[in-house]
Amino acid sequence: MLSVRIIVLFLSLSSVLLAQGTVNRKVAVTMDDLPLQRIEKFSTEKLYGITAKIIEKIKLVNAPVVGFVNGVKLQTEGKYDESKIDLLKMWLNAGLTLGNHTYAHKSANAVPVKEYEEDILKGEAVLKETVENGGAELIYFRHPYLQTGRSLEVKNEIDNFLKDHNYIIVPVTIDNSEWIFASAYDKAVDSNSTGMMKKIGDEYLRYMKAKLDYWESQSNALFGRNINHILLIHANTLNSEYYDQLCGIIKDSGYKFISVDEALSDPAYKSEDNFKGAGGISWIHRWAITQKKGKEFFGNEPVAPDFIMKYAGVESE
Protein backbone atom coordinates (compact mmCIF):
# COMPACT_ATOMS: atom_id res chain seq x y z
CA MET A 1 0.00 0.00 0.00
CA LEU A 2 2.73 2.35 1.06
CA SER A 3 4.78 1.68 -2.07
CA VAL A 4 1.72 2.36 -4.26
CA ARG A 5 1.30 5.70 -2.51
CA ILE A 6 4.94 6.51 -3.07
CA ILE A 7 4.62 5.62 -6.76
CA VAL A 8 1.47 7.76 -7.09
CA LEU A 9 3.21 10.64 -5.33
CA PHE A 10 6.24 10.24 -7.59
CA LEU A 11 4.10 10.18 -10.73
CA SER A 12 2.12 13.27 -9.75
CA LEU A 13 5.30 15.09 -8.77
CA SER A 14 6.97 14.30 -12.07
CA SER A 15 3.90 15.39 -14.02
CA VAL A 16 4.00 18.74 -12.16
CA LEU A 17 7.68 19.11 -12.98
CA LEU A 18 7.04 18.16 -16.59
CA ALA A 19 4.21 20.69 -16.84
CA GLN A 20 6.47 23.40 -15.37
CA GLY A 21 9.15 22.51 -17.89
CA THR A 22 6.83 23.25 -20.80
CA VAL A 23 5.92 26.79 -19.65
CA ASN A 24 7.84 29.44 -21.57
CA ARG A 25 9.37 31.83 -19.04
CA LYS A 26 11.79 34.21 -20.70
CA VAL A 27 12.40 37.89 -20.09
CA ALA A 28 14.66 40.61 -21.49
CA VAL A 29 15.71 43.43 -19.14
CA THR A 30 15.66 47.09 -20.18
CA MET A 31 16.59 50.15 -18.07
CA ASP A 32 15.39 53.62 -18.98
CA ASP A 33 16.49 57.19 -18.21
CA LEU A 34 20.24 56.63 -18.36
CA PRO A 35 22.71 57.71 -17.18
CA LEU A 36 20.56 58.01 -14.01
CA GLN A 37 17.15 59.15 -12.82
CA ARG A 38 17.32 62.49 -10.98
CA ILE A 39 20.91 62.88 -12.25
CA GLU A 40 20.91 66.62 -11.38
CA LYS A 41 20.82 65.97 -7.65
CA PHE A 42 24.03 63.93 -7.53
CA SER A 43 27.69 65.01 -7.44
CA THR A 44 30.01 63.62 -10.11
CA GLU A 45 31.58 61.36 -7.49
CA LYS A 46 28.18 60.01 -6.44
CA LEU A 47 27.20 59.44 -10.09
CA TYR A 48 30.29 57.32 -10.69
CA GLY A 49 29.63 55.40 -7.48
CA ILE A 50 25.96 54.64 -8.21
CA THR A 51 26.66 53.75 -11.85
CA ALA A 52 29.51 51.45 -10.79
CA LYS A 53 27.16 49.73 -8.34
CA ILE A 54 24.41 49.22 -10.94
CA ILE A 55 26.92 47.75 -13.40
CA GLU A 56 28.47 45.56 -10.71
CA LYS A 57 25.00 44.13 -9.94
CA ILE A 58 24.23 43.66 -13.65
CA LYS A 59 27.48 41.71 -14.04
CA LEU A 60 26.64 39.63 -10.99
CA VAL A 61 23.28 38.65 -12.52
CA ASN A 62 24.97 38.09 -15.89
CA ALA A 63 21.91 38.83 -18.05
CA PRO A 64 21.92 41.14 -21.08
CA VAL A 65 20.56 44.65 -20.43
CA VAL A 66 19.67 47.45 -22.85
CA GLY A 67 19.90 50.92 -21.28
CA PHE A 68 17.99 53.80 -22.86
CA VAL A 69 19.65 57.20 -22.73
CA ASN A 70 18.26 60.75 -22.57
CA GLY A 71 20.77 63.11 -24.22
CA VAL A 72 19.79 66.03 -21.99
CA LYS A 73 21.09 64.09 -18.99
CA LEU A 74 24.59 64.16 -20.50
CA GLN A 75 24.67 67.93 -20.10
CA THR A 76 25.52 70.27 -17.27
CA GLU A 77 24.14 73.80 -17.61
CA GLY A 78 23.31 73.27 -21.28
CA LYS A 79 26.69 71.84 -22.34
CA TYR A 80 27.72 68.23 -22.88
CA ASP A 81 29.68 67.12 -19.85
CA GLU A 82 32.53 64.61 -20.29
CA SER A 83 32.03 63.26 -16.79
CA LYS A 84 28.46 62.30 -17.67
CA ILE A 85 29.46 60.84 -21.04
CA ASP A 86 32.00 58.77 -19.07
CA LEU A 87 29.05 57.12 -17.28
CA LEU A 88 27.85 55.80 -20.64
CA LYS A 89 31.34 54.53 -21.38
CA MET A 90 31.16 52.55 -18.15
CA TRP A 91 28.03 50.81 -19.49
CA LEU A 92 29.64 50.18 -22.88
CA ASN A 93 32.90 48.91 -21.35
CA ALA A 94 30.83 46.42 -19.36
CA GLY A 95 29.51 45.04 -22.67
CA LEU A 96 26.02 46.49 -22.19
CA THR A 97 23.86 47.85 -24.98
CA LEU A 98 22.65 51.45 -25.19
CA GLY A 99 19.57 52.75 -26.98
CA ASN A 100 17.96 56.13 -27.72
CA HIS A 101 15.24 57.37 -25.34
CA THR A 102 15.09 60.82 -27.05
CA TYR A 103 16.99 63.92 -25.95
CA ALA A 104 14.53 65.61 -23.59
CA HIS A 105 12.10 62.81 -22.71
CA LYS A 106 9.14 64.49 -24.42
CA SER A 107 5.84 62.69 -24.77
CA ALA A 108 4.54 61.79 -28.24
CA ASN A 109 1.10 62.62 -26.82
CA ALA A 110 2.08 66.15 -25.86
CA VAL A 111 4.22 67.66 -28.63
CA PRO A 112 3.80 67.96 -32.42
CA VAL A 113 5.23 65.04 -34.43
CA LYS A 114 8.00 67.20 -35.95
CA GLU A 115 9.15 68.28 -32.51
CA TYR A 116 9.14 64.67 -31.35
CA GLU A 117 11.18 63.55 -34.35
CA GLU A 118 13.67 66.35 -33.79
CA ASP A 119 14.00 65.17 -30.22
CA ILE A 120 14.80 61.65 -31.43
CA LEU A 121 17.58 63.01 -33.66
CA LYS A 122 18.83 65.37 -30.97
CA GLY A 123 19.08 62.34 -28.71
CA GLU A 124 21.62 60.86 -31.13
CA ALA A 125 23.97 63.85 -30.88
CA VAL A 126 26.66 62.51 -28.54
CA LEU A 127 25.11 59.11 -27.90
CA LYS A 128 25.60 57.69 -31.41
CA GLU A 129 29.26 58.66 -31.52
CA THR A 130 29.90 57.31 -28.02
CA VAL A 131 28.20 54.00 -28.83
CA GLU A 132 30.04 53.63 -32.15
CA ASN A 133 33.40 54.51 -30.58
CA GLY A 134 32.66 51.68 -28.18
CA GLY A 135 32.41 49.33 -31.18
CA ALA A 136 28.62 49.00 -30.99
CA GLU A 137 25.60 50.28 -32.91
CA LEU A 138 22.73 52.52 -31.87
CA ILE A 139 19.67 50.60 -33.00
CA TYR A 140 17.12 50.44 -30.18
CA PHE A 141 14.49 53.04 -29.36
CA ARG A 142 12.17 53.36 -26.37
CA HIS A 143 9.29 55.88 -26.27
CA PRO A 144 9.38 58.17 -23.20
CA TYR A 145 6.44 57.38 -20.88
CA LEU A 146 5.68 54.51 -23.34
CA GLN A 147 3.42 57.04 -25.06
CA THR A 148 3.10 56.71 -28.83
CA GLY A 149 0.66 59.45 -29.85
CA ARG A 150 -3.07 60.15 -29.55
CA SER A 151 -3.93 59.16 -33.13
CA LEU A 152 -2.92 56.36 -35.46
CA GLU A 153 -1.62 58.97 -37.93
CA VAL A 154 0.85 60.24 -35.33
CA LYS A 155 1.81 56.74 -34.22
CA ASN A 156 2.36 55.55 -37.79
CA GLU A 157 4.34 58.66 -38.69
CA ILE A 158 6.68 58.09 -35.72
CA ASP A 159 6.91 54.34 -36.47
CA ASN A 160 7.93 55.12 -40.07
CA PHE A 161 10.38 57.81 -38.99
CA LEU A 162 12.06 55.35 -36.64
CA LYS A 163 12.16 52.67 -39.34
CA ASP A 164 13.68 55.15 -41.83
CA HIS A 165 16.37 55.89 -39.26
CA ASN A 166 17.06 52.17 -38.72
CA TYR A 167 15.65 51.99 -35.23
CA ILE A 168 14.01 48.98 -33.63
CA ILE A 169 11.22 49.96 -31.24
CA VAL A 170 11.52 48.10 -27.95
CA PRO A 171 8.06 47.62 -26.41
CA VAL A 172 7.45 46.72 -22.77
CA THR A 173 5.27 43.87 -21.54
CA ILE A 174 6.17 43.81 -17.85
CA ASP A 175 5.18 47.40 -17.17
CA ASN A 176 5.15 48.59 -13.58
CA SER A 177 5.54 51.61 -11.33
CA GLU A 178 9.04 50.85 -10.07
CA TRP A 179 9.76 54.57 -10.63
CA ILE A 180 7.54 55.43 -7.64
CA PHE A 181 9.55 53.12 -5.37
CA ALA A 182 12.76 54.61 -6.81
CA SER A 183 11.61 58.15 -6.10
CA ALA A 184 10.63 57.18 -2.53
CA TYR A 185 13.98 55.41 -2.10
CA ASP A 186 15.95 58.53 -3.09
CA LYS A 187 13.98 60.51 -0.50
CA ALA A 188 14.76 57.92 2.17
CA VAL A 189 18.46 58.07 1.20
CA ASP A 190 18.36 61.89 1.44
CA SER A 191 16.93 61.74 4.94
CA ASN A 192 19.36 59.01 6.00
CA SER A 193 16.45 56.79 6.92
CA THR A 194 17.91 53.29 6.65
CA GLY A 195 14.71 51.82 8.11
CA MET A 196 12.61 53.40 5.38
CA MET A 197 15.12 52.39 2.71
CA LYS A 198 14.83 48.76 3.79
CA LYS A 199 11.02 48.97 3.96
CA ILE A 200 10.83 50.42 0.43
CA GLY A 201 13.29 47.82 -0.88
CA ASP A 202 11.31 44.93 0.61
CA GLU A 203 8.04 46.32 -0.77
CA TYR A 204 9.67 46.84 -4.16
CA LEU A 205 10.64 43.16 -4.41
CA ARG A 206 7.19 42.00 -3.26
CA TYR A 207 5.45 44.34 -5.71
CA MET A 208 7.63 43.33 -8.67
CA LYS A 209 6.96 39.63 -8.01
CA ALA A 210 3.22 40.39 -8.05
CA LYS A 211 3.63 42.30 -11.33
CA LEU A 212 5.64 39.48 -12.90
CA ASP A 213 2.89 36.98 -12.00
CA TYR A 214 0.21 39.41 -13.21
CA TRP A 215 1.75 39.92 -16.66
CA GLU A 216 2.31 36.18 -17.02
CA SER A 217 -1.39 35.58 -16.38
CA GLN A 218 -2.37 38.46 -18.72
CA SER A 219 -0.19 36.94 -21.44
CA ASN A 220 -1.81 33.55 -20.90
CA ALA A 221 -5.25 35.16 -21.05
CA LEU A 222 -4.50 36.99 -24.32
CA PHE A 223 -2.28 34.53 -26.19
CA GLY A 224 -3.04 31.24 -24.46
CA ARG A 225 0.67 31.07 -23.61
CA ASN A 226 3.39 32.99 -21.84
CA ILE A 227 5.16 35.11 -24.46
CA ASN A 228 8.78 36.28 -24.30
CA HIS A 229 8.60 39.30 -22.01
CA ILE A 230 10.39 42.63 -21.88
CA LEU A 231 10.80 44.18 -18.44
CA LEU A 232 11.10 47.93 -17.88
CA ILE A 233 12.94 49.36 -14.90
CA HIS A 234 15.09 52.48 -14.57
CA ALA A 235 18.69 53.39 -13.80
CA ASN A 236 18.45 54.64 -10.22
CA THR A 237 19.74 54.26 -6.68
CA LEU A 238 17.07 51.69 -5.84
CA ASN A 239 18.33 49.33 -8.52
CA SER A 240 21.96 50.02 -7.57
CA GLU A 241 21.00 48.27 -4.31
CA TYR A 242 18.26 45.83 -5.36
CA TYR A 243 18.79 44.83 -8.99
CA ASP A 244 20.43 41.50 -8.11
CA GLN A 245 17.70 40.62 -5.59
CA LEU A 246 15.02 41.56 -8.12
CA CYS A 247 16.62 39.27 -10.71
CA GLY A 248 16.90 36.55 -8.06
CA ILE A 249 13.13 36.66 -7.59
CA ILE A 250 12.57 36.58 -11.36
CA LYS A 251 14.89 33.56 -11.64
CA ASP A 252 13.20 31.81 -8.73
CA SER A 253 9.90 32.24 -10.60
CA GLY A 254 11.37 30.03 -13.34
CA TYR A 255 12.43 32.78 -15.76
CA LYS A 256 15.48 32.73 -17.97
CA PHE A 257 17.03 36.03 -19.06
CA ILE A 258 17.24 36.62 -22.80
CA SER A 259 18.32 39.42 -25.15
CA VAL A 260 15.87 42.00 -26.49
CA ASP A 261 16.34 40.46 -29.96
CA GLU A 262 15.32 37.03 -28.68
CA ALA A 263 12.32 38.54 -26.91
CA LEU A 264 11.26 40.33 -30.11
CA SER A 265 11.57 37.10 -32.12
CA ASP A 266 8.34 36.01 -30.42
CA PRO A 267 5.53 36.41 -33.01
CA ALA A 268 3.40 38.07 -30.30
CA TYR A 269 5.28 41.32 -31.06
CA LYS A 270 3.81 41.30 -34.56
CA SER A 271 0.30 41.59 -33.09
CA GLU A 272 -1.80 44.46 -34.34
CA ASP A 273 -1.52 47.57 -32.14
CA ASN A 274 -4.11 50.28 -32.73
CA PHE A 275 -3.88 51.79 -29.28
CA LYS A 276 -4.24 55.58 -29.21
CA GLY A 277 -5.18 56.14 -25.57
CA ALA A 278 -3.39 58.51 -23.22
CA GLY A 279 -1.69 55.92 -21.04
CA GLY A 280 1.81 54.58 -21.29
CA ILE A 281 0.82 50.97 -20.83
CA SER A 282 2.09 47.43 -21.39
CA TRP A 283 1.99 46.24 -24.97
CA ILE A 284 -0.03 43.25 -23.72
CA HIS A 285 -2.82 45.68 -22.84
CA ARG A 286 -2.33 47.64 -26.07
CA TRP A 287 -2.87 44.42 -28.03
CA ALA A 288 -5.80 43.48 -25.77
CA ILE A 289 -7.44 46.89 -26.33
CA THR A 290 -6.89 46.49 -30.09
CA GLN A 291 -8.68 43.14 -29.83
CA LYS A 292 -11.51 44.95 -27.99
CA LYS A 293 -11.23 42.92 -24.79
CA GLY A 294 -13.84 43.85 -22.20
CA LYS A 295 -13.20 45.73 -18.95
CA GLU A 296 -12.97 42.50 -16.97
CA PHE A 297 -9.81 41.58 -18.86
CA PHE A 298 -7.87 44.47 -17.35
CA GLY A 299 -8.74 44.06 -13.66
CA ASN A 300 -6.65 43.14 -10.64
CA GLU A 301 -3.41 44.80 -11.66
CA PRO A 302 -1.19 45.12 -8.57
CA VAL A 303 -0.62 48.72 -7.44
CA ALA A 304 2.09 50.36 -5.34
CA PRO A 305 1.20 50.54 -1.63
CA ASP A 306 -0.29 53.85 -0.39
CA PHE A 307 2.55 54.58 2.02
CA ILE A 308 5.11 54.37 -0.81
CA MET A 309 3.06 56.71 -3.02
CA LYS A 310 2.60 59.19 -0.16
CA TYR A 311 6.27 59.05 0.75
CA ALA A 312 7.22 59.61 -2.90
CA GLY A 313 4.67 62.45 -3.14
CA VAL A 314 2.80 60.69 -5.95
CA GLU A 315 -1.00 61.10 -6.16
CA SER A 316 -1.72 58.03 -8.26
CA GLU A 317 0.04 55.58 -10.57
* Min dist. Cβ of residue 32 to Zn ion (A): 4
Nearest distance in Å: CB 121, Zn ion: 18
Selected from 27, 28, 33, 66, the binder of Zn ion by CB under 5 A is 33
Nearer to Zn ion, 99 or 201 (CB): 99
Q: State yes or no: residue 216 binds Zn ion (CB under 5 A).
A: no
175 binds Zn ion (CB under 5 A): no
- CA distance between the termini of the chain: 57
Q: Using CB positions, name the residue nearest to Zn ion.
A: 32
Q: How many residues bind Zn ion (CB under 5 A)?
A: 3
Q: In whole angstroms, how large is the CA radius of gyration of the chain? A: 21
Q: Minimal distance in Å, beta carbon 297 to Zn ion?
A: 27
Identity of the amino acid at 251: K
Stretch that binds Zn ion, among 16-24, 140-148, 189-197, 300-308 (CB under 5 A): 140-148
If the CB atoms of residues 144 and 149 are measured against Zn ion, the closer one turns out to be: 144
Least distance (Å) between residue 3 CB and Zn ion: 60
Applying CB under 5 A, does 178 fall inside the site for Zn ion? no
Residue 187 CB, shortest distance to Zn ion, in Å, is: 19
**32 interacts with Zn ion by CB under 5 A:** yes
Binders of Zn ion among residues 80 to 119 (CB under 5 A) are none
Scanning 138-146, 156-164, 204-212, 286-294 for contacts with Zn ion by CB under 5 A, the matching segment is 138-146
CB of 31 to Zn ion, least distance (A): 10
Sites of contact with Zn ion (CB under 5 A) = 32-33, 144
